[in-house]
Each structure stands twice: as structure tokens, then as C-alpha cells.
Amino acid sequence: MPNMSEKKTEMALQSPSQRNKNFKEVSLGYTEEQAIEEAKRCLNCKNKPCKEKCPVKINIPNFIEKIREKKFEEAYEIITESSCLPAICGRVCPQETQCESGCVRKIKGESVAIGRLERFVADLHNSKERKIYIKEQKNIKIAIVGSGPSGLSCAAELLKEGFKVTIFEALHEPGGVLTYGIPEFRLPKNIVKKEIENLKNLGAEIKTNTIVGSSITVDELLKEGFKAIFIGSGAGLPKFMNIPGENLNGVFAANEFLTRINLMKAYEKNSQTPIYVPKNVAIVGGGNVAMDAARSAKRIGAENVYVIYRRSEKEMPARLEEIEHAKEEGIIFKFLCNPIAIHSDENFFVKNIECVEMTLEKPDETGRRKPIVKKDSNFLIEVDSVIIAIGTSPNPLIKNSTKGLKTTEWGGIIIDEEGLTSKENVYAGGDAVTGSATVILAMASGKKAAKSIIEKFKSN
């Protein structure tokens, strides 16, 4: 019998008063019974609009049908035909604006919980020991720069076809933004490690503490016998507002703040890289990174956490689920506000942040409403720390060290429709090309570049 409920099957969560004091995962996942019940809500549409909305084109109705039939491993195999990181994507991808936005059930109620079902299938698979089958390797070496989602996705596709893959990671732990950017309460690091271990078992070699552009250059890698290189180095250069006071003690870029927490566990007692714990903190921005920073600040002990966003809640780019979770955890939202200065005490520590109120103009031709300042609306918020989360751009290190690599004015690597850069046999994808985007879009770009590499060298 189909499940015609207009609402998704509920998923258990940690209570807000408990979870805002720890870094354990907030969402606890479906049980087998819940997953089957939710799978019954899928209408198995003939034209598969959900699949068309998925950046990596997972055959969504087919894997959900296997859940209904309790053939969970077959469901996993269907997902991994298209995605190498299902346990991660099931947790952090914005399904509401991608696959779930195309779900027919959304016409009269809520979409099928595609992300939750993907997570269930992947977690069940990863909970059991599996035999590893490594394909016979070709004598073709490919270098991957960066071990974030685009690099891992590219590597997975190449490994499936027997290429020898070496991944170069600048930090001491692989995973890129999955490891240093997304907090443990949204994406447990044991999940990331498991997915990376799967790639290692397929034959991937990962070299950490290697900064391509400094430790070794792209040109040197080509000279060392790598037939092609994929640059998936992400966008780790923080943007600032260029307002007075951004150089004060207590002002952080969100990616520095989150890296200290996620990668270095700076909140733990006796940490070798302790982090400043503010009493009152302002987070500037409205995306997922801003939500991550705000919720992390609450967990390390901040009493009052303000999110300052210059548009209304309706325009916030963060996932609806993350906004709701943040509200439940006591985060204070200041909508239609914009900082104009950060003021200090006599010791050059943050004392307060000065903001102005904003109003929104009528939508322009793109549908976007421009914020404008309300006259004489200045006000102060007493804080001892400010975290800037208004975006990032690619680090110029690779561009500056690679001859003939063309980039945009803001630093994004220019590629063609096949993922190829202006330099022969050098491909790129993910945030290094687009600037900050989603995990699944980065994966899609890595997969596309891998297919181009495979096509070029398959006959070798």
C-alpha cells in the first residue's frame, strides 16, 4: 500500500537544549521501518523529475523502490552508480532546492525525503564489512589537487576505470571542506573518513601536508609523469566587508573559526590550538557557513549569538532546516541589518558592532531585491567577537604558480564544457571554478572532468 501522507516521515533529533551544548550529530536518521514507510510515499513517476533536478543524476525512484522491497544493498548500488559520497550528500546537500524540488508529491504537501533515504541506505551499507574489488590498474597516472568533494568525486570515477590516482591535500587530514568546514553536528567526521577509506581501498594514494603551488607546482607534477591533473582546491580565501575595525582582536573569518573547531578540535580541554570563547558574538552573513559558525559558537560556550543579515529571512541562502535548527538552539537573528563598523575597547579588542537598518527595493529583472540603508538608523550591538561569513574565493597560489592558467577577475579557474582549463591536460572543478557552492555541485564537476579524462586516455 502506498503512503499518501502529505508530510515526510519524521526523523528523530537531539533536543535543542541538549544539542546546543555538544557536537554530536543533531539528526539521528531513519530506522528501517521509518525508511520503508517514507519510501512508500514515492509515486515512482515515469518521467523522474527528481532525477533531472539532481546534479549527478542519481536514479532516485529506482533506489527508493529497492528500499520499499527491503533490498537495501541494491539501493546503495544504484546510488553509487552516480555518487561516490552518499552518506555525506544525504546529510548536507540542499535537497529542497535540488532533487526534492522536482518531487510531484510537493504539489500537495511535502516532497519525499530523498536525502534522508539516501543517508539511511549509505549508513546501513557502511555499518557492515564488505569485500573490496580493485579493478586492474592502467599505467596512467592522474593527479588530483585537493581532497574535497570535487576531488574525491573525480578520483572515484577514475579509479572505477583503473587509472592510478594520487590525491594531494594541503592540510594534515583529507576531506577538504567536508573535514574542516562542516561541523561535526551536521556531518560526523567518522562518516567522511569512511568514505575516504573506501577510495583508498579502491587504490587511491593520498599525500597530505602537500601544498600544490608551493610544495610542488602543477607544471612539476606534469613533468613527473602525471598524464592529467584535476584542480579541486576549493575556495579557501575569505572575503571581508572592508569596514573599520575588521583588524581588531576578536574578529575572525568564518573558515578560520570553523577550521579550528572542526579540524583541530579547539574546543576540547587541553587543545594545542585553543580558540577564543566569546561571551557575545555577531555572525555576519546568511548562508550555511554563517549558520555553522553561529551554531558552533553557541556550542563552545557563547551566551548570545547574533546572526546579522542584510536582507529578510525569506532571502536567506542557508538551508531552511539549518535556519530552523539554529532558531531552536537559541540563535538570535537580526534581519534587514548591515554592519558598518566594529568598535574596540582601549586594548583593541572588539567592544561592539555598529549596524544600520535596511529596507528592500522591488525585485529587479532577476527577482532579487536590493537592500538599501534606512537613513539615521544606526544602532550598536554589544559583542566581544565578530565572525565574518560572507563568502570565500579561490586562493591565488595555484594560479600564480602555474604558467598559462587562465582565471576570472575574482580568481575562479576558467574551464570549458568538458572541465578543461586553458592549460593542456589540466582540468578543474568545484569551488576553485565557481567560488563557494554546494557539495553536490562540486561532485558533479569532478565527475564531469573525470569522464573527459577517461575519454581522452581510455585507449592508452
Question: What are 178-191's pLDDT values in tens digits?
Answer: 999 999 999 999 99
Least confident interval from 120-129, 216-225, 296-305: 120-129
Contact 211, 172 (CB under 8 A): no
pLDDT of 248 > 90? The answer is yes
pLDDT of 135 > 80? The answer is no
Quickly state the pLDDT bin for 452 (edges 50, 70, 90): very high
Give the chain's end-to-end CA distance (angstroms, integer). 52
Task: Please report how the helices 439-457 and 149-160 are oriented relative to each other, as an axis angle in degrees rounded to 10.
Answer: 30
pLDDT of 242 > 80? The answer is yes
Contact 437, 140 (CB under 8 A): no
Each residue of 365-393: pLDDT tens digit? 888 889 999 999 999 999 999 999 999 99
Q: Across all residues in the chain, what is the average pLDDT?
A: 94
Measured distance CA(395)–CA(430) in Å, rounded = 13
Phi, psi torsion values for 420, nearest 5 degrees: -85, 135
For the domain made up of 16-126, the CATH class stated in words is mainly alpha
Quickly state the pLDDT bin for 81 (edges 50, 70, 90): very high
Domain 141-235+393-457 homologous superfamily, CATH? FAD/NAD(P)-binding domain (3.50.50.60)
Q: Is 315 helix (H, G, I), strand (E, B) or coil?
A: helix
Measured distance CA(156)–CA(142) in Å, rounded = 12
Measured distance CA(305)–CA(260) in Å, rounded = 18
Candidates 204, 197, 198; CA nearest to 155 is: 204
Residues of CATH 3.50.50.60 domain(s) within the chain?
141-235+393-457, 240-390
Q: Exposed, middle or buried by CB within 10 Å (0-12, 13-18, 19+), for 11?
A: middle
Each residue of 88-106: pLDDT tens digit? 999 999 999 999 999 999 9
pLDDT of 459 > 80? The answer is no
DSSP secondary structure of 146-163:
--SHHHHHHHHHHHHTT-
**Cell numbers of 400, please?**
600564480
For residue 62, count other CB atoms closer than 10 A to its CB: 16
| 325-350 CB burial, b ≥16 within 10 A, e <16 | bbeebbbbbbbbbbbebbebeeeeeb
Q: What is the pTM of this model?
A: 0.93
Contact 54, 98 (CB under 8 A): yes
Fold of 240-390: FAD/NAD(P)-binding domain (3.50.50)
Measured distance CA(117)–CA(141) in Å, rounded = 36
Contact 211, 170 (CB under 8 A): yes
Residues of CATH 1.10.1060.10 domain(s) within the chain?
16-126
Residues, the chain:
460
